[in-house]
Structure 1
Amino acid sequence: MSTSPASPTSPAAPGRTTGRRRDARGLRVIVTGASGTFGRAISARLAGLGAHVVGLDLNPRSDDPVEVLACDITDDAGVPAAVSAAIAKLGGLDLLINNAGVGGPAPAELPPGAEARRQLDINLLGTWRVTAACVDDLVRSRGRVVMLSSRMAVMQLPLAAAYGASKRALVAYADALRLEIGTHVTVSCVYPSAVRSPIHDSTAAAGLSLEGLSSYEPLEGVVDAVLRAALGRRRRRDLATTRRGAVELFLARHLPSVTDRIIARTLAGRARSGAFDGAELAAGVVARHTGTP
């Protein structure tokens, strides 16, 4: 019996490439940090394109745009259980978006405390736990992993050493993962700069706002870059989220002494202007740049 070709309006097979990118309809997706600023936007966009999305988050919200399961990604035993439940709901897994992450003040000159350990455990080890729990299903589907890294993975900013270290380590983890499973799974890193979101609140509360050291970019640009990594016909290793971000990544990788000088000069100006006055964690920076005891 012959069959007629599908009409132009027929749903494409999950992950089928149409035009410049894969058709998202039917793709089975997990998004971590799905109740946060980035996670909600990414989940909503994918769901709007027809993907089946289940989120993971420490604190799911009643108004999340997709179903979100409670998951503490620092819990060694809890992560595999939550991932298993998400995959069971989806019936498999084609795409993992590791978006969950936290920031906060952590000057490099001070001993690492609870804040530094928290950021490393969530941003690096949390991503590692979730990904490891997903590997078998991703290999089976020849799927993709998208890591939300940061420009700070290559261009460190002062007073936030833990965040930069965790994101640089995340990229190293992605590189190792790509070497191990890259025959079957695409592993991409996306590098946003700064987007206005609650992730900056604790740093600002400590008097260490990096206003002037970072230029804010629109959330939609980050979501667009994630979708290029997730759905693009071309399998991408690294993606900046703006043209400026691409230039910064290039300079940081190939001319690091130039970016170091730019950041150091900006930091000195802010310290001398009184931007960090009263910020205990920046006392050493202020003293060295102002000559105060």
Structure 2
Amino acid sequence: MKLDGKKVLLTGAAGGLGKEVKQILTEQGARVQGIDINQAGDAQIIVADLSDPESAGQAVNEAVKNLGGLDIVINNAGTLELQDAGIMPTTASIASLKTNLFGAWHVVAAALPELLKSNGKVINVSSLFAMVNAPLIPSYSASKRALAAYSDCLRMQYGNQIQVTTVYPGFINTPIHKDAVRQGLSVESLVTIKLFGMKIFSMEESIQSASKGIVKACRKNYRDVGTTFLSSQSLWFARHMPKLVDWFIQLRINMLSKTGELKIALDEPQYD
């Protein structure tokens, strides 16, 4: 699929990954309308709370009007919250589920009539954490795995009329991780192996490479794909050798805890 003139709706457009995806799409000739809960200085972004179906529906309708139709929807908006999986879901965790899963669902439902007209495409941005198990991120992992399942259901029902792709980025150093880092959980530490203080291997993805992976998914008809070669390989291992991946993550956590690099101090749980 060539992107010249394609009408693209991109959620989470004000974030680090969203900004880069928007720029690359525009450079390749696409017309992009962003939606985000914050404008972040970009007056062209429609402000909406996608966890609210009415707000999401209004934003999608405005985007379709601005673009004059719709060819591609990229559900990139998301939030990450830390929580003990053994206690009741907190207000923040419930909000994260609503944004990561139902936000995407709201957007697709509102956009579907236009996508059916154009035989368009839905790209749902999940995460390797949908498949790679890790502690303290139950709402994020659950919502991203559920988003992949939603993609599969959507494809089964509408696959002869639209394309549906689930994209799995690895760790990207964007502001979505700031609260986790503040509370002591650095995903960067988990995916980076050092020897004598020197980095010898890292699974971190750059914003540029991950963005290119998402844009590539706009042009090709993938079912499930990582944003980079490394994340695609990690996805394969997580699906086919989950016990090995669990062992590796647990090993990394134990090692970092012993060296003092991992000191978790969760915020006090907040409930409505």
- TM superposition score normalised by structure 1: 0.84
**What are the superposed Cα offsets for residues 129-168 of structure 1, whole Å, 9 maximum, x if unpaired?**
0110001110110001111110011112222111111100
1:159 aligns with 2:159: no
Alpha-carbon distance between aligned partners in 2 of 1:53 and 1:277, rounded to the nearest angstrom: 41
Separation of aligned partners in 2, 1:182 and 1:213: 37
Query: How far, CA to CA, are the matches of 1:122 and 1:200 in structure 2?
Result: 16
Tell me if 1:98 matches 2:75. Answer: yes
Correspondent of 1:231 among 219, 230, 233: 219
Q: Percent identity?
A: 35
Question: Counterpart in 2 of 1:114?
Answer: 91
1:195 aligns with 2:149: no
Letter of the 2:82 partner, please give it: P
The residue correspondences of 1:55-74 to structure 2 (distance < 5 A) are 55-63=34-42, 67-74=44-51
In structure 1, the gaps of 5 or more residues are: 1-21, 282-293
Matched, 1:219 2:196: no
Q: 1:7 corresponds to which residue?
A: none
Cα deviation 1:175-206 (Å, max 9, x = unaligned): 00111111111000111111111000000111
* Structure 2: gaps (5+ residues): 192-202, 268-272
Supply the AA of the counterpart residue of 2:59. Answer: A
Bigger relative CO (Cα 8 Å, ≥ 6 apart): 2
Q: How far off its partner does 1:274 sit? A: 2.5
Structure 2 distance, partners of 1:124, 1:218, is: 24
Structure 1: which amino acid aligns with 2:235?
Answer: L
The answer to whether the Cα contact below 8 Å between 2:172 and 2:207 also exists between their aligned partners in 1 is yes
What root-mean-square deviation, in Å, do the aligned CA atoms of Structure 1 and Structure 2 show?
1.6
Q: How does 1:1-293 map to 2 (within 5 A)?
A: 22-63=1-42, 67-214=44-191, 215-232=203-220, 235-277=221-263, 279-280=265-266
CA offset at residue 278 of structure 1?
6.1
| CA displacement at 1:280 relative to structure 2 | 4.3
| Cα distance, 1:192–1:278 mapped onto 2, change above 3 Å | closer
Deviations 1:36-78 (A, max 9, x none): 11111111111111111111111113346xx211111012211
Q: Which has the larger radius of gyration?
A: 1
- Alignment deviations for residues 247-281 of structure 1 (CA, whole Å, 9 cap, x no partner): 21111111111111111111112222223446247
Per the normalisation by structure 2, the TM-score is 0.90
Aligned length: 257
Letter in 2 for 1:168: R
Take 1:80 and 1:259, find their aligned partners in 2: how far apart are those partners?
39
Cα distance, 1:236–1:275 mapped onto 2, change above 3 Å:
same
